[in-house]
Amino acid sequence: MRNELENLCEAAASFHARGYAFGSTGNLSVTDGERVWVTPTGASLRRLTVDRLAEIDREGKPLNGNKASKEYPFHLAAYRNSFSGARALVHLHSTWTVALSCLEDLDAAEPLPVFTPYYLMRVAPLAVIPYLRPGSAELAVAVGEAARAHDCILMRNHGFLTLGATMDEAVDRAEELEETAKLFFLLRNEKLRYLTGAERSEIQQVFGRKK
């Protein structure tokens, strides 16, 4: 487990260094099935260390002296309900994906067009949940429901979260989602070629992304 905790801290620092996180925004966690380690409240992702992580049980009871992020309830809800048995979670407010979450005419059924196989392999289908106050019980319920069928969840006017079997997998999904959102805005006024139904089916058959 020590390696996963170190991976969490390394991922957090990398997100901050590359502009995926800023100030004290964003939170990450990992679980061993019984305990959850989550980034502490009010802390920048820039210089986290393993001994600064908050440790809680699956009900949210503190197991060390560090105070967990106020958004820990949706981490717990996601782990309880994850259809894929996720053990790691990344939540960011990165620029391009937040911009996507703020679009009034966002299509909840397909919030991003499928124009690369990598988005289909690592992210899609992307769930969209309505705006709910950060840290609220209602947000935790909505995340828990979405996690029953999705590893990637877009929160309206807020940000996103990605789940993975490992921190590396959750990070890969977060990076792919942010870069696809960036491409979406860069290409909005261009004529695009999307993956056809047959091409999408082939990707799903070969690489096994769950629908």
Please state the rounded mean pLDDT for residues 42-54: 93
Q: Is the pLDDT of residue 2 over 90?
A: no
Domain boundaries, the chain: 2-207
Predicted local distance difference test score (pLDDT) of residue 123 = 95
Q: Place 209 in a pLDDT band, splitting at 50, 70 and 90.
A: low
Write down the pTM of the prediction: 0.91
Question: What is the three-class DSSP state of 85?
Answer: coil
Give per-residue pLDDT as tens, 117-170: 999 999 999 999 999 999 999 999 999 999 999 999 999 999 999 999 999 999
Residue 14 tokens read as 């990398």
Predicted local distance difference test score (pLDDT) of residue 127 = 98
Per DSSP, the residues of 29-80 read: EEE-SSEEEEPBTT--STT--GGGSEEEETT--B-SSSPBPTTHHHHHHHHH
Round to whole Å and give the CA distance between 101 and 129.
Answer: 10
- Percentage of the chain surpassing pLDDT 90? 81
Question: What is the three-class DSSP state of 199?
Answer: helix
Of 1.10.10.10, 3.40.50.970, 3.40.225.10, 3.40.50.2300, which CATH number belongs to 2-207? 3.40.225.10
What is the set of active-site residues? 71, 118
> How many Cα atoms occupy the beta-carbon half-sphere of 38 within 13 Å?
28
Give per-residue pLDDT as tens, 14-45: 999 999 999 888 999 999 999 999 999 988 99
Q: Is the pLDDT of residue 192 over 80?
A: no
